[in-house]
Amino acid sequence: MLFPNSTNMNRTLLLLGLGLTLLAAPARAQDALHKKALKLAETQAALMLRDVPKAIQRQPAAPGKAAPVSPRSLTPAGELAVVPSRDWTSGFFPGYLWLLSEATGQEAWRSAARTYSARIEPEKTNGTTHDLGFMVYCPFGQGYRLTQDAHYREVILQAARTLSTRFSPVTKTLRSWDHHKDNWQYPVIIDNMMNLELLFAATRFSGDSSFYQLAVTHANTTLRNHFRPDYSSYHVVDYDTATGQVRRRMTHQGFADESAWARGQAWALYGFTMCYRETRNPAYLRQAEHIAGFILNHPNLPKDLIPYWDFNAPDLPNAPRDASAGAIMASALYELSTYSPASGPLYRDKAEQMVRSLAKSYTAKPGGSHGFLLLHSTGHKPANSEIDVPLIYADYYFLEALQRRKNLAAGAKVLDTGSQAKL
């Protein structure tokens, strides 16, 4: 470049420097948010590691019952609620510790993650639940990804074999609950999409395509039967065990059968995004994009993008929020942004807004809430259970969203799960 005189040269350099400063400002802001959130996560995790043993001591197992091993939420009295490994939320805390070890590189978090993961291992043969993806894959999947520990791989494979026993060739789905048999014959909940990741991983690890086939069959059946014309999801679909036909579509944790339970929409978004990652089936990508459109364009989505517990709750705008749904949505949108050329920038921007809202208005005070990171989640509003409280899975997906955010900012892959599952 030629500069006719020193004045023009100085002006050009000044404008160049100003442009670089403006480009760097968002990156610095992003880095500041990440550092602050990660520092809080470490403070809170250290507190929780101190408080969990105390809570377990205060809550001894009844005769014939399993002892608690992992944190879930807070009691109405504000005490730390701990649960046995058979609880569907048991794997989130060790999974959270693995994510914290990845984010910080600190061996202390990895050591704690190993300890708490080991407490969940007995569930690898628990055939009474569909939630083995949450219970086993969250800790052992993250652990294997970060350590390549061969034992973790075997735990995952055994859990996948166990989960496979819940598949029905008649309904072409994995059965969700075994309880309330007076209410339904063969219930399948939208949450079950999340457990398919365990099956996809099992095919990658073993080369056995049967796990993959079960996962895609369940996903295809869910895509066909769980969604309304506006791409909102029912919570529960009940199937006839003899014919495989749909008997009823209903809710269990939402406001009404025809309402859109917020966390259910989050599970659907995350689940079909993950299924696209594992299969590259464009039908799953289109479904994820449609679900994202329903969520992001809904007139009842608050300005901070953290949803009410149900999009159709009767007491809006005073209904409780669900930070857990917001965290799940943000994590899913960061990933979906890398698969959708047309809408990718929008998804990433919305995920960024969600993360900023969570970090600004939904985080616990340092040293408070027995070590939980996020506040203001809703577990089961119709049962008057876990309303406006911390929930361990909210913390897990928020930390996952932060890590995905960091990866994208660095120009890296949003996540690395190894090679895709193959047919």
Query: Is-contact 30 410, C-beta < 8 A?
Result: no
pLDDT at 5: 54
Whether 26 maps to a domain, the answer reads no
pLDDT at 60: 82
Q: What DSSP element (H or E) covers 80?
A: strand 80-83
DSSP-derived secondary structure for 154-222:
HHHHHHHHHHHTTEETTTTEE----S-TTT-SEEEEGGGGGGHHHHHHHHHHH--HHHHHHHHHHHHHH
Residue 80 φ/ψ, nearest 5 degrees:
-70, 125
Show the domain range for 323: 34-58+65-409
Query: Is 345 in a helix, a strand, or coil?
Result: helix
Whether 89 maps to a domain, the answer reads yes
What is the rounded radius of gyration, in angstroms, for the C-alpha atoms of the chain?
A: 22
Whether 349 maps to a domain, the answer reads yes
Q: Give me the half-sphere count of Cα atoms (radius 13 Å) on the Cβ side of residue 137.
A: 22
Whether 419 maps to a domain, the answer reads no
- Which residues are the active-site residues? 131, 191
Residues 6+ apart with CB under 8 A from 412: none
User: Scanning the structure block, which residue is given the tokens 């805390």?
Assistant: 93
Whether 184 maps to a domain, the answer reads yes
Whether 21 maps to a domain, the answer reads no
pLDDT at 16: 44
Residue 54 φ/ψ, nearest 5 degrees:
-65, -40
CA distance 244 to 241: 6
Please state the domain count of the chain: 1
- Tokens encoding 343: 């809408």
Residue 265: exposure state from Cβ atoms within 10 A (0-12, 13-18, ≥19): buried
Residue 121 φ/ψ, nearest 5 degrees:
-55, -35
Q: Which amino acid is at 320?
A: P
Residue-wise pLDDT tens digits, 377-405: 999 999 999 999 999 999 999 999 999 99
pLDDT at 189: 98
Query: Is-contact 114 143, C-beta < 8 A?
Result: yes
- Tokens encoding 404: 């995905």
Instruction: Output the pTM of the full model.
Output: 0.92
Residue 93 CA, distance from chain mean position: 12
Instruction: Tell me which residues of the chain have a pLDDT lower than 50.
Output: 1-4, 9, 12-16, 18, 20-24, 418-423
pLDDT at 7: 53
Whether 273 maps to a domain, the answer reads yes
DSSP-derived secondary structure for 143-166:
HHHHH--HHHHHHHHHHHHHHHTT
Whether 4 maps to a domain, the answer reads no
> What is the domain-level CATH number for residue 222?
1.50.10.10
Q: Kindly report whether the peptide bond that precedes residue 169 is cis, defined as omega within 30 degrees of 0.
A: no
Would you mind telling me the total number of residues written for the chain in this entry? Answer: 423
Query: Is 382 in a helix, a strand, or coil?
Result: helix
CA distance 75 to 52: 13
